[in-house]
Amino acid sequence: MTWIAQLTDLHLDGDPPADSRFDRVASWLEHLSPGVDGIVLSGDVIDMRSIENPAAAYAALARRLMAIAPVLAIPGNSDDPELLAQAFLSSERWSVPVAGANGSIVAGDAVAVIGLDSTIPGRYEGRLSDSTLAWADGVLSNMPPGMSVLIALHHPPIALGHTMIDGLRLENPDALAEVVERHPSVIGLLAGHTHGATSAVFAGKSLIVAPGVHSGMRLEQESGGVAPGPLDTDVPPAVALHRIEDGALLTHFRSIAG
């Protein structure tokens, strides 16, 4: 059995509210017993628009989380992919260090997580490049027999029924679906970006969109499409906790009280 914690949309900006919400989540992870086997950061880790020293912020985050478990970090639209990769790829706890923003990590004896960079510079929506898809196809083709694989990316590859968010999702989901369908070792996909816990099916596999650490997502029915808008900073920070056993994926969503 393997346990993987997924943290997404931290939006660390150097201000106390965001830092405090992340600290609550990190402390919760530190006190789990037994602890998790791996951590997935599925993007929007910091907010490049407002933080003064992003390299230092990434490095501090990496030190905190890698003391808990091996970490796979992928960028979101508010990140600097190269700075994020540098902070986490320097760790010897990676099983397969690679250049750039794509990477893979073996979190347990029979579980692998592959991270894909779906960001488009200067834009909120996402797209997987041909080279990224080819890289993923090659990694999956060389997985050992019996390995259960999760694919992680920032942008959800499906519409979630929210007008604003659906305009910012992955632009080429069919290309990703073709890769997934070629490899039965893939048992599920993990995404972030929306700040809202959501489960669905994509390419015949479970798709889990994790809740946000920075804030939660209001449905349009809750916000009425007007102010205060889709993000709710009054809800507690939350994480997705994935259990993989005998090739089956089960997910718990946990809100971390103050």
| pLDDT tens digits, one per residue of 86-110 | 888 755 444 443 434 456 666 567 8
> Which is more confident, 91 or 61?
61
Taking the alpha carbons of 80, 83, 87, 88 in that order, is the dihedral positive or negative? Answer: positive
Instruction: Give the residue-averaged pLDDT of 59-88.
Output: 90
Q: Which amino acid is at 174?
A: D
Most confident of 42-51, 61-70, 215-224: 61-70
CATH class of 2-255: alpha beta
Q: Which two tokens stand for residue 208?
A: 């889990």
- Give alpha helix (H) positions in 38-161: 54-66, 81-89, 130-141
Report how far residue 44's alpha carbon sits from residue 4's, in angstroms, rounded to the nearest whole number: 19
Instruction: Give the residue-averaged pLDDT of 170-189.
Output: 96
Q: Which two tokens stand for residue 26?
A: 């990190």
Most confident of 49-53, 89-93, 130-134, 182-186: 182-186
For 121, the enclosing helix (H) or strand (E) is none
Q: Which amino acid is at 130?
A: D
Q: In what order do the strands lie in the sheet with 248-255?
A: 71-74, 38-42, 2-7, 238-245, 248-255
> Which is more confident, 197 or 107?
197
Give pLDDT, residue 167: 82
pLDDT at 22 over 60: yes
* 137-158 pLDDT, tens digit each: 988 998 888 899 999 999 999 9
Backbone phi and psi for residue 111, each to the nearest 5 degrees, phi listed first: -130, 130
Closest C-alpha to 125, from 197, 190, 76, 188: 76
Would you call 191 helix, strand, or coil by DSSP? strand
Would you state the torsion angle of the CA atoms of residues 3, 18, 57, 157, taken in this order, to the nearest 10 degrees? 50
Give pLDDT, residue 28: 97
**Residue carrying structure tokens 């029924």:** 161
Instruction: Give the residue-averaged pLDDT of 71-88.
Output: 89
pLDDT at 221 over 90: no
